[in-house]
Structure 1
């Protein structure tokens, strides 16, 4: 059963996703849960502490998915040797898992929506948005394709071109999933992404 500390995170992030991080107060978070500010402060120092815990949770789940799929859990600069051992199958499985996570998990969806709102209000949030959802994943995938391409005997597009072609539909279809009005439509979009990934690897690596 979810405990009070976790309930606070979920409720806060739900509010952040609708109103933005800066617009939400500790009083609003406490009110959402029907508790006092004092009760909330027994679990978190302040609103920033809540945000930091949310971010740590999201990062930890990403590490777990990376390890399960067999892709590096850190950036190329931190563990370059790990990038040279990644198979196309591992990358394929990882990206499929990523799509389902970012489109279905409540915390992940609300975290993504919050960053989308806040990127226009704060340089810090803009940088975090890029790192988590845009330039960060693109650079990570580009480095993977650079290493994977070295093992291929046929000529391929540049690692950057491959990464852009590979990652752009991920973000586009996530946005479509956000606008879907029913579970069936969301599932259809997720299946479209899975088929796209399958076709991509057949096109370049089979």
Structure 2
């Protein structure tokens, strides 16, 4: 890992722990045992570091969006899929998404930064909305509309259904961070998904 990447990773961890506003360039440099001057050879300032974190996240998100679109494309084009196959695909994707935002160090720390800063930094609030609240709800609406085609729930409010589906999963992400028994939280995610799908079966 080169120095520039080490700076990025150290800053990410510190931002996730102390918040963006609570971390100075000096603190990042001290964490790495380098001088501020050495840090400035790689990044102009703290905002430049954060912008690089966001750019990295956008690259990762573009890949994950492609995977999501592929899933939706499969649901829409392969009419031979049974409802159970559709539900299983959505379940697998949802569990993978939960694990990504809680177990992947980069993604988990990025989520924590946004959560900490959302009420004092409009940029952070917008990013949280994009990646973990409204953005996810919009994706979930697409899924809900697909699941309930041809059922008595076909004309229900997909926004509310999406909130009912994703809300507990988002809450469980926060619980996962604080829990010593992370396996029980992961199990709760699976149980929630099963209960939700069964209630509309």
1:71 to 62, 68, 72: 68
In the alignment, which residue of structure 2 is the partner of 1:175? 174
Structure 2 residue 99 is matched with structure 1 residue 100: yes
Distance 1:18 1:62, change over 3 A: same
What TM-score do you get using the length of structure 2 for normalisation? Answer: 0.82
Structure 2 CA distance, aligned partners of 1:131 and 1:71? 15
Structure 1 CA distance, aligned partners of 2:123 and 2:184? 35
* Counterpart contact for 1:103–1:109, Cα < 8 Å: yes
CA RMSD, aligned part only?
2.5
Shift of 1:139: 1.9
Structure 2 CA distance, aligned partners of 1:174 and 1:192? 11
Shift of 1:44: 2.0
* Count of residues in Structure 1 that have an aligned counterpart in Structure 2: 191
2:150 to 150, 153, 169: 153
Cα deviation 1:2-34 (Å, max 9, x = unaligned): 332221111101111122112321111111101
Q: How does 1:117-132 map to 2 (within 5 A)?
A: 117-132=116-131
For structure 1, list consecutive stretches of 5 or more residues without a partner in the other structure: 74-79
Distance 1:187 1:161, change over 3 A: same
1:187 to 177, 183, 195: 183
* Counterpart contact for 1:66–1:94, Cα < 8 Å: no
* Counterpart contact for 1:72–1:83, Cα < 8 Å: no
For structure 2, list consecutive stretches of 5 or more residues without a partner in the other structure: 79-85
After TM superposition, the structure 1 stretch with the greater mean CA deviation from structure 2, 30-39 or 55-64, is: 55-64
Structure 1 CA distance, aligned partners of 2:176 and 2:73? 35
SS in 2 for 1:24: coil
SS in 2 for 1:169: helix
What TM-score do you get using the length of structure 1 for normalisation? Answer: 0.80
Shift of 1:81: 7.7
Q: How does 1:1-206 map to 2 (within 5 A)?
A: 2-67=1-66, 70-72=67-69, 84-85=76-77, 87-149=86-148, 152-156=149-153, 157-181=156-180, 185-204=181-200, 206=201
* Counterpart contact for 1:83–1:143, Cα < 8 Å: no
Shift of 1:118: 0.8
In the alignment, which residue of structure 2 is the partner of 1:77? none
Structure 2 CA distance, aligned partners of 1:191 and 1:31? 40
* Counterpart contact for 1:71–1:90, Cα < 8 Å: no
SS in 1 for 2:69: coil
In the alignment, which residue of structure 2 is the partner of 1:76? none
Structure 2 CA distance, aligned partners of 1:33 and 1:83? 47
